[in-house]
Structure formats: structure tokens, C-alpha cells
Amino acid sequence: MHKTISNMSTLLPRIGIVNGGGDCPGLNTVMDAIVRSLHPEYEIFGFYKSFEGLKDHHYVKLDPSFTSRYRFMGGTFLKSTTHGVFAGKVGAGGLRLVDDEIIAETKKSYDDLGLQCLIVLGGDGTMVTACQLQAAGINVIGVPKSIDNDLDGTEVTFGFQTAVDIATEALDRLETTAYSHDRVMILEVMGRDAGWIGLHSGVAGGANVILIPEIESDFEKVAHFLRHRDKKNALIVASEGARIKNMGQIISGSTTSSEQKLGGVGDALADYLNQFEEFEARSTTLGHIQRGGKPSGFDRLLSAQFGYQAAKMVEQKTYGQMVVYNCSSFVSQPIEACVAKLKTVDPNGYLVSSAKKMGIHFGD
């Protein structure tokens, strides 16, 4: 770990790596793949706590002997933060720009270290900051990280499938209690503005009802659906950002970055159903368990390929672009295009339509 930046020249080109936003399964796998793909032709520096580490000269020199120790661990060995002067998200999922003075300080640190480029692993908030840095003269390559799978331009982000697997396993466990006690078991999962985790885990886990932000739900219609089933037990998946008729999204508080904290839709639905004699409902909030622990086999493979593709982009000097996965291929798209809008579930798309055809109710 270093706190000062050397001005000494080096024969090798230098690059930096940062990760921003919440932790996510696969972060360490991506960084290890980058380092193994570029070492020893490049000097590689990892900056602690996202862009804060670059600005404040807080970094570690990376090589395969270091990164391989963390390759399949969850979280991130570089630490991360959703706060500080680079916090890219604020309000109800909105984005904010970083002060020009902070950007200038960061650019100076980048120049002092003699970096050729900066590889940024992050979601929409982090990538908005990456766009600012690119405009300020810092060469940036993006890698899409999000358990919510809500970054546009890529079919899937690393970390998403692990979150789905965890939620699916939780549903498998809740189903046994639902059956044994003739209960309605509700699982609340993450998903502020995009219901990908709820939709995928709900279909994979055999849920009877799925509530997601993209489809306004009505508790009365959910109760009506459950009453007319031939079984008393049921499984319900509810995204934390699900929009409920006459209630909107349920706000449970605020974070230190002034972002509204969503949550409580599962408890609210359980309370509503428990008003009626025919229902006995219980709610479980999965919370941060979804983003913790080791990446799944799928995410290890995906993360390694994301990292390798980012390394290729370094060698080809493909800056201002983000690695994306499309049609079984790894290519790139401009970062600006990928953060222009969130990728959300299409209410009329194939997966929702097929789920409805199979008898899954969406509260609408």
C-alpha cells in the first residue's frame, strides 16, 4: 500500500484499476483476469475505495501473485464506497456530476503517476463519473458491474447471476415452510428501478406472484389471485422498488448520500394479506446477502472474460468504451451510450409474457 506517487519514469506503460459503488460477486475475478492478461508487459496499480484512492494517492501495485489470492473471493480487495466526493447517485435513483475541482485533482494524480489509462469497474453512477474523467483527459475503459443487471448496452452484468442464484435458493427454502404450514411466504429482493433479480429468481424458484418496479401492482388483485388458487400455500417475490397502487414505492429511510432507501414492500403485503382469515403470510427480506459471498461458476467465467476483454482494450487503446456482452460475444460500446438510460424489464417482453402464460401473477 502506498500513499505517495513516484514521479520516476518507468520503461513499462502504467494503468490503473478502480471499482466503485456497492460490492459485487466477481469484482476480484475481473481484476485478477486483467492483471494476469497484462502482466508483465504493464505496471498495474489498484486504487483503494474507488476514485477516492486515485485522487488521494492511495494505491497498491498489482501482480498475479497478489490478485490470485483473491480471485474467487466475494467483495473487493480494493474496498469500495458509495459515498464521498465521487458519489454518483443521489435522490430517487438520480445521478449527479462531480465538482470540477475534484475532477482536476484526480486528473493531476493520474498525470503524476504517468498512467496510460484507467479501468473502471462499476454501475451507472460510477460510469457517469467515468464519462466526466474521460472528458477531462483521463483515458477510461469501463467494465459493467451490477447485481441489478440494469446497465444498458450489455445483455448481462457480472454479479447478477450470483444474486439470482442466491434468491432462487432462498425461494427453495421458503417453499418447504409455505407447504408445511399452508402459508404465503414473501421474499423481498433488491431492485430499485429494475426488476431483473425478482423476475429471474421468481421464474427459476417457482414463485406464484412476482412484483417488480416496471409493472404497477395492486395488493387487492394479488389477494384475489391467491383466493382462487386450489392451494393455500404460495410463494411471492417482491422487488424492493415494486410500485404499488395508491402507495407507489415504499421508502424505508435515506442513505448518507441523500438517496432514498427503498424497502418494506414484503412486510406491507404480508400485513395486508393477514387482515383476511384465509391467509397466513410471512415476509423475509434477503437484503445484502444477495451481493455477498463467492461468485457463482457462471459469474466466474463471465468476470474472467470481461477482464480479458478489458485488457485487450488496453492494448488496443480503445478508450471511452465499456466492455459489453452481446449475442455470446464480448465487444465494446461508448460509456456515454450505456449510461444514457437504465436497462429495465420490458413488461411486454418474452420472459414476462411466458411467465404469465405459465400462470405467474404480476399483481396487475
> Which residues are part of the catalytic machinery?
148
- Say if CB 196 and CB 346 are below 8 A apart: no
CA distance 100 to 295: 36
SS3 329: strand
Q: CB-hemisphere CA count at 13 Å for 103?
A: 16
Q: Which amino acid is at 238?
A: A
Tell me the chain's radius of gyration from C-alpha atoms: 22
Nearest to 110 by CA among 50, 43, 55: 55
All cell numbers assigned to 209: 406472484
Nearest to 89 by CA among 241, 257, 242, 254: 257
CA distance 203 to 168: 9
Counting beta carbons within 10 angstroms of the beta carbon of residue 358, is it exposed (0 to 12), middle (13 to 18) or buried (19 or more)?
Answer: exposed
What distance lies between CA 98 and its chain's CA centroid?
21
